Amino acid sequence: MDDELFQAAHAAMEKAHAPYSKFPVGAAIRAGDGRIYSGANIENLSFPEGWCAETTAISHMVMAGQRQILEVAVIAEKLALCPPCGGCRQRLAEFSGASTRIYLCDETGIKKTLMLSDLLPHSFETEVIG
C-alpha cells in the first residue's frame, strides 16, 4: 500500500470545489512513468455538469503525456471507502488493466484494495473499439 498515493489523494480532496453537494472527493493516480497525478471533484451549478476527482486526475495524467494507470487512491470526506462512480470506473478502464489496484481510503489512510476488475467486471475493452 502506498502512503504517497494516499497523501496526494487527501491533499487533492482539500482542494475540491463542492459547494452544492458538500461532498469533497480526491483521487490520485500513479501512471506508467511512476509519477502521481491527482484531482478533486469540481462541481458546477448546472448539476450534473461538474466532474469527478478521478476524471480530473486522469486529465492531468493525459495532459502530461501519459496513457497508463498503474494504481489509484480515492478518498471522500464524508464517506469512508468511497469507490469511483460508474462513469469513472469506465474512464479508469480506458487507461488501465483488469489488475490495476484501486485503493479505497478513509481519513487515516488506505483501508481496502480492489482490482479494477472487481469494480467493473465487464468493461468495454479498448482493443475491441480500436
What are the structural domains of the chain?
3-129 (3.40.140.10)
Residue 17's pLDDT is 97
Active site residues: 54
Q: E strand or H helix at 87, and its extent?
A: helix 86-94
Considering only CA atoms, which of 71, 75, 59, 86 is closest in space to residue 111? 75
Residue 121's pLDDT is 85
Pairing of strands 25-31, 69-76: antiparallel
Residue 125's pLDDT is 66
Q: Summarize pLDDT for 35-68 with one digit per residue, the tens.
A: 999 999 999 988 778 899 999 999 999 999 999 9
Residue 41's pLDDT is 97
3-class SS of residue 1: coil
Q: Is the pLDDT of residue 90 over 80?
A: yes
Q: What is the grid cell recorded at 22? A: 458538500
**Looking at the DSSP assignment, which residues form a beta bridge with residue 76?**
25, 79
